Amino acid sequence: MYKKRLLPITILLGGIVMSSCVSNKKYVALETQHRDLAELYQKGQMDLTESRAKIKSLEDQLEYERKNNASLREAYAKLQSTLDNSIAQNSQGNVNISKLVDEINASNKYIQHLVNTKNKSDSLNMVLTNNLTRSLSREELKDVDVQVLKGVVYISLSDNMLYKSGSYEVSDKAGETLSKIAKIIQDYRDYDVLIEGNTDTDPISKPNIRNNWDLSTLRASSVVQALQTMYGVDPKRLTAGGRGEYNPIADNTTANGKARNRRTQIIITPKLDQFMELIDKAPETEAPSI
C-alpha cells in the first residue's frame, strides 16, 4: 500500500524536475537573446550617434560650401565686371593703338619721302657738279671752287679770274669759264641762280663806288648781265646780291685770306615753288606732326 502511494509522488517530482529543466533552458535562451538584443541596441545607438555626427558634419560642410559658393559668385561677378570694363577699355585702346600705328606709318612714309627727296636732290646736284667740273680745264679749276652743301651747288669764282683789276666789269678771260657755267645753268632750267658778290675788308676808293657793299653788288650784277645778254640765261631765274665784306671765308689779316674773300659765288638751287615737283610729288596728305 505504501509503495502504491510513493509511486505517484515520484512521478510528480519527476515532472516538476523535468518542468524545471525546461524552464531553465528557456530562461537561458531568453537571457542570451536579451543580451544579444541589448548589444544590438547598444550598437544601434552608437551607429545612430555616429550617423548623427556625420549628418551634422555634412550639414556644416554644406553650409560652408553654400557660403563659399556665395563668395565665389560675388567674386565672379566682380571679376566679370572688371573683365567687361577691361574689354571696353581695351577696345578703345585698340582703336587708339591702331590710330597711333597709322600715324607712325604715315610719319615713316613722309620721312622716307623726305629722305628719298634729299637723296635724289643730292644726286642731281652731284651730277650737275660733276658735269661742270669735267667741263673746266685744269687751269680754270685753280680759280673755280665747286661744292655741294645741304643740297645747294656753290660755284665760287675768284675776282682775279672774273674782273678787270680794280673794277666790277667782267674780264675777257672770264668769258670761256662763264660760258661753261651758263651751259650747266641752261641744262637745269628748273633751278634758280643767285649771283653773290663778296669782298675783303680793304676800303674801296672809286668815285662811282661808295663802299664794299656797292662793289660786291655791282660785281654780282655784272655777272648776271653777262649770263643774260651773252649766254641767253633767262633773267627771271637770276638774282644779283652783294654781301660786301661781311661774309668772309678766310682771315682778312693775310693777303691769301683777302684773296679768298674777294670772290663771287654762283649759287644754283631748285626753285622753292617747284622743288617737290622737280624731285618727286609730295604725299597727298599733309605731313603728320612729328
pLDDT at 287: 43
pLDDT at 211: 94
pLDDT at 26: 77
Q: What is the pLDDT of residues 34-54, one digit of tens each?
A: 888 888 888 888 878 877 876
Q: How confident is the model at residue 14 (pLDDT cuts 50, 70, 90)?
A: low
Dist. CA 110–CA 142, nearest whole Å: 42
Mean pLDDT of 54-69: 74
Mean pLDDT of 213-232: 95
Q: How confident is the model at residue 220 (pLDDT cuts 50, 70, 90)?
A: very high
Q: What is the pLDDT of residues 16-37, one digit of tens each?
A: 555 555 578 777 788 888 888 8
pLDDT at 91: 67
The better pLDDT of the pair 213, 90 is held by 213
Q: How confident is the model at residue 203 (pLDDT cuts 50, 70, 90)?
A: very high
Residue-wise DSSP of 253-277 = TSHHHHHHHSEEEEEEEE-GGGHHH
CB 242 within 8 A of CB 215: yes
Of 114, 115, 129, 134, the C-alpha closest to 191 is 129
Residue 101 has pLDDT above 80, yes or no: no
**DSSP 8-state assignment for residue 236:** G
Least confident of 78-87, 96-105, 236-245: 96-105
Residue 217 has pLDDT above 90, yes or no: yes
Residue 116 has pLDDT above 70, yes or no: no
Q: How confident is the model at residue 224 (pLDDT cuts 50, 70, 90)?
A: very high
Mean pLDDT of 262-276: 76
Residue 290 has pLDDT above 60, yes or no: no
Q: Decide: pTM greater than 0.95.
A: no
CB 177 within 8 A of CB 161: yes
Q: Percent of the chain beyond pLDDT 90? A: 28
Which cell numbers in the block locate residue 49? 550617434
Number of helices (H), then strands (E), belonging to the chain: the values are 7, 5
